[in-house]
Homo-oligomer: A and B are copies of this chain.
Amino acid sequence: MPDYPQFRFDVTGRDPAGSRARTGRLGTPHGVVETPNFIFCGTKAAMKGVLPGQMHRAGSQIILSNTYHLMIQPGAEIIAALGGLHGFMGWDGPMLTDSGGFQIFSMGHGGVADEIKGRRRPPSEAALIGISEEGARFRSYRDGSPLFLSPEGSIDIQRKLGADLIVVLDECTPFHVERAYTAQSMALTHRWGDRCLAEFDRGDDGRQALYGIIQGGVYADLRQESATYTRDRPYFGTAIGGSLGGEAGQMRAVVAETMRHVHPDRPVHLLGIGGIADILDGVAMGIDTFDSVQPTRVGRHGWALRKGGARERVNLRNARFRSESGPIDESCGCETCATFAAGYLHHLLRADELLAITLLSIHNVYTMNRLMRDIRDAIAAGALAECRRAWLGAASADGEQEDDGEG
């Protein structure tokens, strides 16, 4: 069974103020990730509009790409032939790939937004054909052709992609499923996890490390059972997946319950969570890494994250920025704020100029890295509460954030 000789995770400090927050160093063959940290989504082996050098200068330590997208375009063999993900996309720092499961199942079950709004996708768009013990059948997002992904296939593809950190194939259940289905799905995920471990071990060359995934939906006993499953297997790290409930309070409860049972010495990743308030909550419960498409996705729609404003973010399309000669955020040290006025970004958005995406994404990436650095410093100083106030400002009172309806 794997023992990950080229990887390390060292807890370097714990919150003296009493939360479960901790600092650590996650060592990989491509360098160290200081934790807590944020993993940016370069879905198709590219950050949208941001070059690797710009990611690096914005303080980023680790990037992920998505197996589901890459197995279809360009295919794992092409990436392997062109130097693996690191060589292919020109990023020489640590990387993570997911298993492909999240996209297959979230498309198959219908997105959460669709569910809430009562929409159903037409059958031709449903990517998931069926799940069996063997794996998942689904349709290509590019041409609709039928494809198949097994636990062994996911590991094989992720080996060819060559990220440092890779993840077992899981069935990712959405918010609305019943307890019985959640329990049955969790058991399948565990059997798939064991098959992933065996396949990983067969081809292990020491250059990758495998994360197990905890499922169990919103049910405390299932989360405990799934956390115990991952703890008792030789995974390098622990990922928390699946539905965490419908609002921040339930998410905190599910994560807190789960964290009571995870392996205490392994890095813990919370999948798909990236709001500033949510990250501050997660850190206080002992989460080490986070990922989300939000910092770059909202940037593409004109939103800039800001430290300590009345809201987590502002939309630069708003007319009040039209002749604003100051930067987005006076306290920000990013390449965008160093050079460009908020009024210029407003113009770029109004003029549909591509540079708006690049410049806002650089700012948002920098801001997330700044948040994580502030958090690490605050843990060492026992000052997480002050850090939360500094970042969320007036909004920190209720721990919730809302869009301000602009744009």
Contacts and interface: CB of A to CB of B under 8 A. Distances in A.
Interface of A: 44-52, 69, 73-74, 78, 81-83, 87-90, 322-323, 325, 339-341, 343-344, 346-348, 350-351, 353-355, 357-359
A323 B44 contact: no
A82 B46 contact: no
Assembly of this chain: how many copies? 2
Contact of A351 (B46, B52, B351, B355): B46
Contacts of A322: 74, 78
A83 B343 CA distance: 11
A97 to B, nearest CB: 16
Given A343-B78, A344-B82, A351 B49 contact: no
B81 A47 contact: no
Given A73-B347, A90-B340, A353-B44, A358 B51 contact: yes
A82 B323 contact: yes
Q: Nearest 8 pairs between A and B by C-beta?
A: A49-B354, A74-B347, A44-B351, A90-B339, A46-B353, A46-B355, A82-B343, A82-B341
A51 B322 CA distance: 21
A69 B323 CA distance: 17
Contact of A354 (B45, B69, B90, B357): B357
A344 B42 CA distance: 14
Contact of A344 (B50, B73, B88, B351): B88
A87 B326 CA distance: 12
Contact of A358 (B49, B341, B348): B49
Contact of A325 (B47, B81, B340): B81
Contacts of A88: 341, 343-344, 347
Contact of A348 (B46, B69, B78, B339): B46
18 contacts: A44-B348, A45-B344, A46-B353, A49-B49, A49-B358, A51-B358, A73-B347, A73-B351, A78-B322, A78-B323, A81-B323, A81-B325, A87-B341, A88-B341, A88-B344, A88-B347, A354-B357, A358-B358
Given A46-B354, A49-B49, A354-B354, 9 more contacts: A47-B355, A48-B353, A48-B354, A74-B322, A81-B343, A82-B341, A82-B343, A88-B344, A354-B357
Contacts of A48: 353-355
A194 B46 CA distance: 53
A350 B343 CA distance: 34
Given A73-B347, A88-B341, A348-B46, A355 B82 contact: no
Contacts of A344: 45, 82, 88-90
A353 B344 CA distance: 24
A71 to B, nearest CB: 13
Contacts of A87: 341
B81 A355 contact: no
A340 to B, nearest CB: 6
Contacts of A45: 344, 347
Nearest to A355: B46
Nearest to A81: B323
Nearest to A90: B339
Contacts of A74: 322, 343, 346-347, 350-351
A348 B90 CA distance: 13
Contacts of A340: 90
A66 to B, nearest CB: 11
A358 B339 CA distance: 19
Contacts of A346: 74
Contacts of A78: 322-323, 343, 347
Nearest to A340: B90
Which has the most chain B C-beta neighbours within 10 Å: A52, A83, A355?
A355
